[in-house]
C-alpha cells in the first residue's frame, strides 16, 4: 500500500502590527479589501462595527499623542477591542475558506489578510510492505490508543488458517521467515484497556 501522505490546509494568518499607527493602516487595508467582496457577503463582525472600532482607535491615538491624562489607557482599551474584532474576523474568513478548499487560498488573499499553508497529516492506515531482508515484511497499523498493544497475524493459505505474531507495544512489527514468491495475507488488531478490537481487513502482499 502507498505510504501515508500529508496534505496542506490554507490558513488565515493574522499578523497584527503591535504599533498603533501600523495597526490602523493594516485594518484600513483589510476594510478596503472586504468592502463589496463577493466572497464575504455577511462579514462577522459587520464591517460597520469594525470601521467604528477603527475610528475609535484613531481618535484615542490622537489623544494619547497629546498626552492627555488617562489617554494612553483609553487608547490601549480601544486597541484591544479592535484586535478582538480582527480575531473574530479571522475566524469568519477561515470558515468561509474551509467551505471551498480548492479556492481557499484565493478567498483568503481577497480579504486582505495573508495566507499560510499548514500541513495536515492524514490518519495512518494499516499498511504492509516488503522489508529489507528477503522473506520479511513490515506491518504498520493505525494507532489504537495512547496506551495499547497490538496483535498481528498472517495467512499463507488465503485466510483459511492464521498464524498470530505479537504482541507489540508499538503500532508496527516485522515478520521474517515468510516463503518468498508467495502471496501472504496480513492482519492486526489493537488491544486497549477496554479489550481487543476486531481483526482488521486482511491485506495481501507478494512476499519477495
Q: Which residue has the higher pLDDT, 208 or 67?
A: 208
Q: Which helix (H) or strand (E) holds 81?
A: helix 71-98
State pLDDT tens for residues 10-37: 888 888 999 999 999 999 999 999 999 9
Predicted confidence at residue 11, as pLDDT, reads 87
Predicted confidence at residue 119, as pLDDT, reads 66
Average pLDDT over residues 135-157: 92
Bond prior to 7 in cis (omega within 30° of 0): no
Q: Where do the structural domains in the chain lie, given as residue ranges? A: 6-120, 127-206
Average pLDDT over residues 107-131: 82
State pLDDT tens for residues 113-123: 998 876 655 66
Predicted confidence at residue 64, as pLDDT, reads 86
| Alpha-carbon distances of 13 from 66, 90, 108, rounded to whole Å | 33, 8, 9
On the CB side of 34, CA atoms within 13 Å amount to 27
Range of lowest pLDDT (58-72, 81-95, 134-148):
58-72
What is the rounded CA–CA span in Å between residue 207 and residue 181?
Answer: 5
| Alpha-carbon distances of 172 from 127, 137, 166, 192, rounded to whole Å | 9, 11, 10, 16
Predicted confidence at residue 169, as pLDDT, reads 93
Predicted confidence at residue 6, as pLDDT, reads 47
User: Mean pLDDT, the chain, as a whole number?
Assistant: 89
pTM of the model: 0.53
Provide CATH code, domain 127-206: 2.60.40.10
Amino acid at each position: 500500500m502507498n505510504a501515508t501522505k500529508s496534505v496542506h490546509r490554507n490558513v488565515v494568518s493574522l499578523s497584527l502590527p503591535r504599533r498603533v499607527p501600523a495597526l490602523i493602516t493594516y485594518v484600513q487595508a483589510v476594510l478596503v479589501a472586504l468592502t463589496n467582496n463577493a466572497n464575504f457577503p455577511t462579514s462577522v463582525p459587520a464591517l460597520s462595527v469594525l470601521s467604528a472600532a477603527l475610528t475609535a482607535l484613531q481618535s484615542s491615538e490622537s489623544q494619547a499623542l497629546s498626552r492627555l491624562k488617562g489617554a494612553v489607557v483609553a487608547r490601549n482599551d480601544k486597541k484591544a477591542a479592535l484586535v478582538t474584532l480582527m480575531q473574530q474576523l479571522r475566524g469568519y474568513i477561515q470558515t468561509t475558506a474551509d467551505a471551498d478548499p480548492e479556492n481557499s487560498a484565493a478567498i483568503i488573499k481577497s480579504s486582505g489578510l495573508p495566507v499560510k499553508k499548514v500541513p495536515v497529516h492524514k490518519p495512518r492506515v494499516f499498511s504492509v510492505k516488503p522489508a529489507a531482508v528477503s522473506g520479511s515484511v513490515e506491518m504498520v497499523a493505525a494507532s489504537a490508543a495512547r496506551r495499547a498493544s497490538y496483535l498481528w497475524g498472517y495467512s499463507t493459505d488465503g485466510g483459511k488458517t492464521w498464524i498470530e505474531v505479537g504482541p507489540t507495544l508499538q503500532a508496527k512489527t516485522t515478520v521474517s521467515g515468510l516463503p518468498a514468491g508467495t502471496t501472504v495475507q496480513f492482519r492486526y488488531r489493537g488491544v486497549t484497556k477496554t479489550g481487543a478490537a476486531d481483526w482488521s481487513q486482511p491485506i495481501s502482499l507478494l512476499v519477495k
